[in-house]
Amino acid sequence: MERLQKILAKAGISSRRKAEDLIREGSVTINGKVAKIGDKATMGEDAIKVNGKLLQKLEAPVYILFHKPKGVLSTMSDPENRPTLSEFLTKFKMRLFPIGRLDFNSEGLLLLTNDGQFAEDLQKQSDLLRVYQVKVRGHLTKEEMSRLSRGGRMGPRHQQIKPFSVRLAKDLTNKSMLEIAFQGAGAVDLKTYLEAKGFLVERIVRTAIGHLVLSELPAGQYRILTESQVKALIRQPELGLRRLKEGEKDQQAQPLPAAEIEAAAEAAKTREGIAAQTYKVVKSPRERTGGRPTRPDRSFGPRSSERGDRPFRNTRKTYGSESGPTPGGPMDKKRSPRPFTKKFSRPGSPKPRPSGEFGAPRSSTPRRPSRPRKPFSR
């Protein structure tokens, strides 16, 4: 005997959580009685009905390896009508669901099945390897590679994330292709992890789960797996580790063709040229002149040698005299009156003073004497 929600999940009616909701709503009956949470039954012996329909024999399990394209949700339905996996799996009439998920902008290998028990066992597997290829901007140094492999804590719960292995798969002109492997079935937000480490991510592709490899399967296509292939993910998790090590050895032992060597040399020259243009060595004024820097001539007119004799500094131009400036400057007491210039007049404005009054001496009225001070006394 098995729990009722487990039987419904195996029959492809719904997931276990949705099966529990159906039981709470009273939509499921066992031998004519409304089922409750915790009830058990035997498929083929007990009459189990969902919304009045009798469950027949269980469907044959199906296992699918799917290449998820970019911009597709890892679900079979979406209330906002965004692209989902069901648009690529229209030939299958049974209920399918993905094992795990990939982000909306990520792509790569995704497993789908109608076997709920297998999906649950696979998600609990702690030795399962998942391999990703990540394209980042720039070229990584040894220090950056070691910082990336050390891992860290991410998310609001400060979950510890540490890659199983990190290696440089390919060095491009201005970018780098990394191969990052994680062990375990826990969800990892790889893009957030890399951005927290200071890397600009352009593409994320999951290339392998255990010993199952995406290989050359085009995006949006699928491949049907056998039961022995998927059961090996649980029974023989070391196959994925062996495949990962063999891939590293093949890449180290395989010599590069001459075309790739020439392309790498040209890319290195291009990077050196870009670096030389970006980081220009600026010489100091002392280095440019070969000695002490000379002070630039800041005069806007002719030089002092070409100006001739300069006029007397303290001369002051007087108004009304025909002979021009008189030496003596501000100490000269002979000042001629300023000529009167008539300006426009407004009604009610004060009349201008005549020219004769300008510069006239003050009134000769004697000043009132001040009051004598009293002698100081204590």
Asked whether 340 and 352 are in contact (CB, 8 A), the reply is yes
> What gap in Å lies between CA 274 and CA 263, rounded to an integer?
16
8 Å CB contact between 151 and 201: no
How far CA 163 is from CA of 181, 210, 242, in Å, comes to 6, 15, 17
Residues 183 and 127 sit within 8 Å (Cβ to Cβ)? yes
The pair of three-digit structure tokens given for residue 233, joined into one six-digit string = 């993910």
Q: Which of 21, 39, 46, 103 is catalytic?
A: 103
Could you give the dihedral angle defined by the CA atoms of residues 238, 248, 106 and 114, in that order, rounded to the nearest 10 degrees? -20
Vertex 87: Cα angle to 86 and 92 (nearest 5): 55
Does the active-site annotation cover 103? yes
Looking at the DSSP bridge assignments, the partners of residue 160 are: 153
Q: Residue 111: what are its φ and ψ, rounded to 5°?
A: -100, 140
8 Å CB contact between 30 and 41: yes
Distance of CA 50 to the CA centre of its chain: 48
CA geometry: angle 181, 65, 191, nearest 5 deg: 35
Please give the structure tokens belonging to residue 187. 């969800």
∠ Cα 269 273 278 (to 5°)? 145
Hunting for tokens 């296509």 — which residue is that? Answer: 221
CA separation, residue 206 to residues 140, 160, 183, 238, 325 (Å): 21, 21, 13, 19, 93
Q: What residues act catalytically? A: 103
